[in-house]
Amino acid sequence: MSTRRTVRVLIVEDSPTDEFLTRRALDRYAEIEFDVEVVPSTKGLNRLLDSVDVDVVLLDYNLPGRTGLEFLRELSDIGERPPIIMLTGSGDEFVAKEAILAGAVDYFLKSRIEPEALGSAISKCLQADARKKAARRQRLETERLAVVDALTDLYNRRYLADVLRRECGRVARYGGSLSCLMVDIDGFKQYNDVYGHLQGDVVLRQVGRLISGSISDCDIAARYGGDEFCLLLTDTSHEGALDLAERLRAGIAERGLMVGGSTVPVTASFGVFTTTGNSAPQAEVLIEGADLALRRAKATGKNQVHAISEPALPTS
């Protein structure tokens, strides 16, 4: 015995007779079991759609107060709503065309409401909506991968460069400060040599999660390349940037990281650079300053935080 799938339908209909005919047609469709809810007008319909889980809406064209077509035209987030089929008692081609242009996925005459026709129309509508949502998910994933590092799920270097330029422009115009942190996992090549590259990837992901969980929503964390990470902190003082760097350094060193079922000691070095506000910041200067501080941290023992300020940068 086959089990019919359940589809949740919201009928927006003010005529008791038309509601009865629509319900009866849905009840008699053999392929799908419909879970039906009915409202008599579009009043409060947006709020209802926000609060209930609906697969498809059967929307009457001729409704009191505001027609179904007017409701469609006023929807600003039609792509986020369940698919809508417009029901009408007339065969006006203009109404059909306008309904489709306004965002309805189909247009259905009430005179054709009978089980097979209506059920098939809903089934095709749901299939088309599933394809559209799958395509949208694929597009969003493609857009995400264009700015996100696939291994660590942090932003990638290209996106970081865009944000750096934008934030430098903002600070130059409105004032404020920017802090840049460069992070390098100490002895990462040895981790790869001893444990293999797959376990090295585990270390990178775990460090990435620790970093992303330690910054605010307005800050940016990116994988800069290899085992290096870069953090851009907006409107953060030099002391605040140093505090974050030290907390991250201690967090990595103290907890260790799980590799192959055992805890492996891992440390990282940090370079911190903060703009002084005395001049318009430049993206290249931020990266150069943080990278110079990082190199000094590595050269003086690793597993530490080193910071420099703008005047400490070598002049060309």
Q: Which residues are catalytic?
A: 227
Query: By three-state DSSP, how is residue 169 classified?
Result: helix
Q: Does residue 269 contact residue 183 with C-beta atoms inside 8 Å?
A: yes
Distance of alpha carbon 192 from alpha carbon 198, whole angstroms: 8
Distance of alpha carbon 207 from alpha carbon 217, whole angstroms: 18
Distance of alpha carbon 31 from alpha carbon 50, whole angstroms: 28
DSSP string across 249-269: HHHHHHH-EEETTEEE---EE
Distance of alpha carbon 215 from alpha carbon 244, whole angstroms: 8
Tell me which amino acid residue 159 is.
Answer: Y
Q: Does residue 87 contact residue 61 with C-beta atoms inside 8 Å?
A: yes
Q: Does residue 98 contact residue 11 with C-beta atoms inside 8 Å?
A: no
Distance of alpha carbon 111 from alpha carbon 108, whole angstroms: 9
Distance of alpha carbon 45 from alpha carbon 65, whole angstroms: 13
Start-end of H helices in the chain? 16-27, 45-51, 68-74, 93-102, 115-145, 157-174, 188-195, 197-212, 238-255, 283-299
Q: Does residue 205 contact residue 152 with C-beta atoms inside 8 Å?
A: yes
Distance of alpha carbon 121 from alpha carbon 117, whole angstroms: 6
Angle CA(267)–CA(269)–CA(272) in degrees, nearest 5?
145
